[in-house]
Chain A
Amino acid sequence: MVSTQAQKSIFYRLHIDPYLLLGLFALMSISLTVLYSVGGLDMLYRQVTRLAIALTVMIFIAQIPPEWYQRWTPAIFLVSVLLLIAVLVIGHTGKGAQRWLDLGFTKFQPSEIMKLIMPLMVAYYVSQFTMPTRFKQAFIALLIVVIPTLLIAKQPDLGTSILVASSGIFVLFLSGVSWIYIGLAVAAVLAFIPILWFFLMLDYQRGRVLTLLNPEADPLGAGYHIIQSKIAIGSGGLWGKGWMHGTQSQLEFLPERHTDFIFSVFSEEFGFVGVLLLLSIYIFLITRGLIIANQAQDAFTKLIAGSITLTFFVYVFVNIGMVSGLLPVVGVPLPIVSFGGTSIVTLLAGFGILMSIHTHKRFNIKR
């Protein structure tokens, strides 16, 4: 441990990692700044409330020792899968997709829980065996990944299914699956793409991919969002148009500007310099997460810490990639920065697990 004795004593006892906390606070500040710009004080307050709840959840989860997760993982996973099935049967429809389960007092997205429990479940399974993971185990682990992923994709929620699938696959990768199997898997996925395209994807999903390939083909229709987003980002230039001065966002040319497209607003108002800062914070958090993973004391915690961290990066990559025109628009928020309750709670819960792993060590080995 590199932390000083005093920090160690305070943060370690509170089960909080100061580096992660610092990075998260930095992102939250950026989030509130941009949300104020596009949504005013009202949106700011709402997000502050959500952040407070999410931080509470994070600290609460950080207090729980990793052994507890390990014990409960299979049960929670099973329940989550059942809930996903329930969503498809009796779920609440919003924006053309069945994602919500109405519990009476609140609406709730089981796929969010799946985001968290998926890496735990795969890690739980593969950590029963010695690393590197063998073919048979990897195959069973893949089944664990595929079933919930398909259930979520069927809602349909492409963004979340990608995140869920990748969180499970990351565990497999980190557990040392042979490169040969990885190569085979990649080949299989490539072979699967045509099947996906012709039989499994819905029209609107296909449309998004086509739009990505040539947004200017239909600038006022399907390509509108991505074109306006690119204009916003591009017109930000090196220094940006200044806080609250992004014309693309302020004049409502940008769609979904407080949720999925918040990165475009940020880039427009703070420019390439702002983008540099934002990405640095993300890299800082990811680096810290990977350090925590490597310092973790057993395979299970190593794997989930690594997977949570990498999934966090997938959020960043997919979101920025889609708003800047590299990836199709799949509805993945910019982690911590985008407005939205559920995703932020899930994300911070993940960071809670990371902190828990780092601060509940059974024996102290000098490395």
Chain B
Amino acid sequence: MVKRKRNSIRNHSAESALFMRRTIVVFLGILLAVAVLFTNLYYLQINSFDTYKTRSNANRISVQTVPPNRGLIYDRNGVILAENRPVYSLQVIANKANDLKNDIKRLTKLLSLTDDEIEKFNKSNRYSRSFKAITIRDQLTPEEVALFTVNQHLFKGFSIQASLKRYYPFGNAFTHVLGYIAKINNRDLEKIEAKGERARYQGTHYIGKLGIEKYYEDILHGQPGQRQVEVDSWGKVIRTLSFTAPTPGKDIKLNIDINLQLKAQELLGDNRGSIILMEAKTGAILSLVSAPSYDPNLFVTGISQKKYQALLESRDRPLINRATQGRYPPASTIKPQMALLALDEKVITEETKIYDPGWWIVPNSKRRFRDWKRWGHGLVDVFHAIEQSCDTFFYDTSYKLGIDRIEPFMRLFGFGEYSGLDLAEETKAIMPSRDWKRERFNQPWYDGDTISIGIGQGYWTVTPIQLTKATAMLARRGDNIKPHILQSIISADETVTPEYDTSKKVTLASERYWNIALEAMQGVTSKRRGTAYRTFGDAPYTVAGKSGTAQVINIKEDEVYDADKISERHRDNAMFIAFAPFESPEIVATVVLENAGGGSTNAAPIARALFDEYFKAQEQVSPIPATSPADQ
């Protein structure tokens, strides 16, 4: 064979040596290649171990925040005012869906989605990350839930989420007390971030926006829990690694009495205005109504732009909480305080009498101020002046007192200050002073300004809650009081009742001065000449009150106020403040009716009706403890 021949002439040892050399070269090459592999593996497993471990965990561990249930809100009788109702919403995680556009199209057929819903969805889809759940429809009916569940397998990435939704069973009756919760928006997020509470709100969709819901957000919200789950590459949960249960928000009990609240709302009727009922001894708000109101549930589900715009632009300003944000001239309701100051400053005495011809002229001038009674009250003392609400008497008194004495004294009663009510929506209104006027108008203070202040007009404005507080302080002979809506915080094992400062705020030279002002206020309701005698003359309890009729527009010097001739919006505001019983004050009422006319004729009867209601209830369930039941 040819091959054999060739082999025979081969130099075997030379070939072997060549082969050996090549083998060694190759082996060195192999070692080099293995070194490369090793270096790379060392880099992956040792140097980058932490990185890859983290990424591996990020792959498999998914942390789900379990939002806490929001605390419930009860009235003082335990009637539920804000509750959590189960609702079902349809959600989708965009990057888990197969074909989002097509899915939505099919879903439109299945659940007959409206164009609005689709547009809303498209919008949120554009602005949210693809792995975040987007809600398509918020409140599914049981039929819709069933319909979707049957077809669930056709919609990858879509799911029905059961959740609890805030519900306010009494609708607009409590809007201005409770406020509402609504979806967390970017501004809320910023606030949450600023407070460093981002983790706490992970998984929470709603936040208190107004009223008690906002003020006590911290208590009501609770602490979220956490569920650490292991997921496979499809995002399917394999097992729960750890679970920390959320701590539900604490339930709270309000001082509000459902019956008085509803009664007050009913009494307000179609009027614009506000009613506040408060316990004189504790500052507990029994009823706080502002009308017109609106349904807070609209905001929970997400109010439509159109409806919101309507609320916003309504002439009646329903979004304003008149009880705390409505600024009204106090009118004659502050005459008792004015009298106290005058007595204390010895500007008048119990015996001082002034002749009222129906007008008053600023000394050394021609400026004339008219009394509400055109023909005048004649000779009046301080009792008469309060009972009949004589303006001339207080023109004179305030002129003598001067703004520099009036302003600080009135501040003691809380005018121009926050009342301390547990609502964030409050204005200080205006307690004017020389400095205020200079700052506001860059003008000096004129004597005429003081004269208007004397009858609670001019620059002076107050809120109903300020009036309520001031009235209570009158009843308490100068003791401070802090109006509050919250009665107690109820958690599983304890009831916390907040405490408030009730120290003496107004000290007068003589206790007798208090008697004068308060007796005069009782005269308003009990003396035949009193402005509210017609309303309270036959009351089975004793009442001290004061009416007020505030001009909304300035009436020229010799013009006569004629309700019929003036457009409705320019009519006087009717006001009435009162407390009862006179001897041992339990309850304070403030009634403000916008453009309703005279205070004694329009506002006083409402106070009467509420007092009746209050005392009737006292007899029936007597005694509802004046202080909160938690003290016992």
Q: Pick the contact of B26: A173, A236, A275, A317 (CB < 8 A).
A: A173
Cβ contact within 8 Å between B41 and A267: yes
List residues of A (209-261) whose CB comes within 8 Å of B's CBs.
228, 230-238, 247-248, 251-253
- CB–CB A302/B19 < 8 A: yes
Q: How many Å from the CB of A181 to the closest CB on chain B?
A: 13
Q: Choose, from B48-56, B461-469, B485-493, the stretch at the interface.
A: B48-56
Q: What 1/0 flags go to B1-43 for Cβ under 8 Å of A?
A: 0010011011100111011101100110010011011101110
User: Measured between C-beta atoms, what is the minimum distance from A98 to chain B in Å?
Assistant: 30
CB distance from B314 to the nearest CB of A (A): 51
Q: What are 29 A-B contacts with C-beta separation under 8 Å? A: A129-B6, A131-B18, A170-B26, A176-B19, A228-B233, A231-B52, A234-B53, A235-B55, A238-B49, A247-B56, A247-B230, A248-B56, A248-B59, A251-B59, A251-B233, A251-B238, A252-B232, A267-B41, A267-B45, A275-B45, A290-B26, A299-B19, A302-B19, A306-B19, A306-B26, A317-B33, A317-B37, A321-B37, A326-B37
Q: Are A238 and B232 in contact (CB under 8 A)?
A: no
Are B60 and A253 neighbours in the complex by a CB distance under 8 Å?
yes
- Which residues of chain A have C-beta atoms less than 8 A from B231's C-beta? 251
Of all chain B residues, the one with the shortest Cβ separation from A131 is B15
> Judging by beta carbons under 8 Å apart, are B6 and A131 in contact?
no
**Whole-angstrom CA separation of A41 from B52 in the bound complex:** 30
Residue contact B23 to A306, C-beta cutoff 8 Å: yes
Residues of B near A175 (CB, < 8 A) are: 19, 22
Q: C-beta contact mask, A155-197 vs B, less than 8 Å → 1, else 0?
A: 0000000000000001001111000000000000000000000
Q: Is A54 in contact with chain B by the CB < 8 A criterion?
A: no
- Measured in the bound complex, the distance between the Cα atoms of B43 and A236 in whole Å is 12
Asked whether, in the complex, the Cβ of A234 is within 8 Å of the Cβ of B49, the reply is yes
Contact of A230 among B18, B20, B52 (CB under 8 A): B52
- B234 an interface residue at 8 Å Cβ cutoff? yes
Residue ID in chain A nearest B10 by CB atoms: A130
Nearest chain B CB to A215's CB is how many angstroms away? 13
Once the chains bind, are B52 and A235 in contact (CB under 8 Å)?
A: yes
Chain B residues whose CB sits within 8 angstroms of the CB of A346 once the complex forms: none
Complex contact B7–A298 (CB within 8 A): yes
Residues on A with beta carbons closer than 8 Å to the beta carbon of B234: 252
Q: A294-B16, A302-B19 are in contact. Are A251 and B52 (CB under 8 A)?
A: no
Whole-angstrom CA separation of A324 from B33 in the bound complex? 14
Q: Which of B45-91 contact A (CB under 8 A)?
A: 45-46, 48-49, 51-53, 55-57, 59-60
Q: With contacts A247-B60, A267-B41, A326-B36 known, is A130 near B46, CB below 8 A?
A: no
B59 touches A253 (CB 8 A): yes
Indicate which residue in A176, A231, A235, A321 contacts B18 across the interface (CB closer than 8 Å): A176
Given contacts A251-B60, A279-B37, contact A128 B6 (CB under 8 A): yes
The 7 closest A-B pairs by CB, nearest first: A234-B52, A235-B56, A234-B44, A272-B45, A251-B232, A235-B52, A237-B49
With A174-B23, A294-B19, A310-B26 known as contacts, the answer to whether A253 contacts B44 (CB < 8 A) is: no
Q: Are B46 and A238 in contact (CB under 8 A)?
A: yes
Q: In the complex, which residues of chain B have a beta carbon less than 8 angstroms from the beta carbon of A230?
A: 44, 52
A positions within 8 Å CB-CB of B? 128-132, 170, 173-176, 228, 230-238, 247-248, 251-253, 267, 271-272, 275, 279, 283, 286-287, 290, 293-294, 298-299, 302-303, 306, 310, 313, 317, 320-321, 324-326
Residues of B within 8 A of A279 (CB): 34, 37-38
User: How many angstroms between the C-alpha atoms of A234 and B46 in the bound complex?
Assistant: 7
| Cβ contact within 8 Å between B48 and A234 | yes
Instruction: Give chain A residues whose Cβ lies under 8 Å from the Cβ of B233.
Output: 228, 251-253
Q: How large is the interface on B (under 10, 10 to 19, 20 to 34, 35 or more residues)?
A: 35 or more
Residues of A within 8 A of B44 (CB): 230, 233-234, 324-325
In angstroms, Cα B229 to Cα A250, docked, is 15
CA distance A179 to B60 in the complex (A): 52
Residue with the highest number of chain B CB atoms closer than 10 Å, among A173, A228, A253, A279: A253
Contacts of B46 in A (CB 8 A): 237-238, 272
Cα–Cα distance between A247 and B238 once the two chains are bound (Å): 11
Chain A residues whose C-beta falls within 8 Å of the C-beta of B20 in the assembled complex: 294
- The closest CB in chain B to the CB of A229 belongs to B44
Given A176-B22, A252-B233, A317-B33, A128:B56 Cβ within 8 A: no
Give the contacting residue for B52; candidates A176, A233, A302, A306; CB below 8 A: A233
B55 touches A174 (CB 8 A): no
Q: In the complex, which residues of chain B have a beta carbon less than 8 angstroms from the beta carbon of A130?
A: 6, 9-11, 15
Minimum Cβ distance to chain A for residue B287 (Å): 60
Which of A174, A248, A294, A326 sits near B40, CB closer than 8 Å? A326
Residues of A within 8 A of B230 (CB): 247, 251
A174 to chain B, nearest CB (A): 5
A66 CB to closest chain B CB (Å) equals 14
- Nearest Cβ distance between residue A328 and chain B, in whole angstroms? 15
User: B56 — nearest CB in chain A belongs to which residue?
Assistant: A235
- Distance, CA A35 to CA B238, complexed state (A): 21
Would you give the shortest CB distance from B53 to chain A, in whole angstroms? 5
B37/A234 in contact, CB under 8 A: no
Residue numbers in B under 8 Å from A326 (CB-CB): 36-37, 40
Closest to A298 in B: B7
Query: Nearest Cβ in chain A — how far from B212, in angstroms?
Result: 47
Q: Which residue of B lies closest to A326 (CB)?
A: B40
A253: which B residues are within 8 A, CB to CB?
Answer: 59-60, 232-233
Closest to B232 in A: A251
Q: Given A128-B3, A130-B6, are A320 and B37 also a contact pair (CB < 8 Å)?
A: yes
Chain A residues, CB < 8 A from B49: 234-235, 237-238
B41 touches A324 (CB 8 A): yes
Is the CB–CB distance between A271 and B45 below 8 Å?
Answer: yes
Q: Is the CB of A231 within 8 A of B59?
A: yes
CA distance A299 to B38 in the complex (A): 34
Which residues of chain B are within 8 angstroms of A232 by Cβ–Cβ distance?
56
Min CB distance A178 to B, Å, is 11
- B238 contacts which chain A residues (CB < 8 A)? 251
In the assembled complex, the Cα of A320 lies from the Cα of B45 at a distance in Å of 14
A104 to chain B, nearest CB (A): 38
- Please indicate the chain B residues that have their CB under 8 angstroms from the CB of A238 in the complex: 45-46, 49
Contacts of B3 in A (CB 8 A): 128
A325 touches B37 (CB 8 A): no
CB distance from A14 to the nearest CB of B (A): 27
Cβ-closest chain A residue relative to B37 = A320
- Are B19 and A293 in contact (CB-based, < 8 A)? yes
Q: Tell me whether A294 and B15 are in contact (CB under 8 A).
A: no
State the Cβ distance, B95 to closest chain A Cβ, in Å.
9
How many whole Å from B38's CB to the nearest CB in chain A? 7
Nearest-neighbor residue (CB-CB) of B9 within chain A: A130
CB distance A231 to B34 under 8 Å? no
Q: Residues of A contacting B6 with CB < 8 Å?
A: 128-130
B60 / chain A contacts, CB cutoff of 8 Å: 247-248, 251, 253
- A303 to B44 Cα, complex, angstroms: 37
For window 218-232 of B, CB contacts with A under 8 Å fall at: 230-232
Q: How far is the CA of A313 from the CA of B60 in the complex (A)?
A: 34
Q: Which of B9, B10, B26, B53 contacts A174 (CB 8 A)?
A: B26
Closest residue of chain B to A297 (Cβ to Cβ) is B12
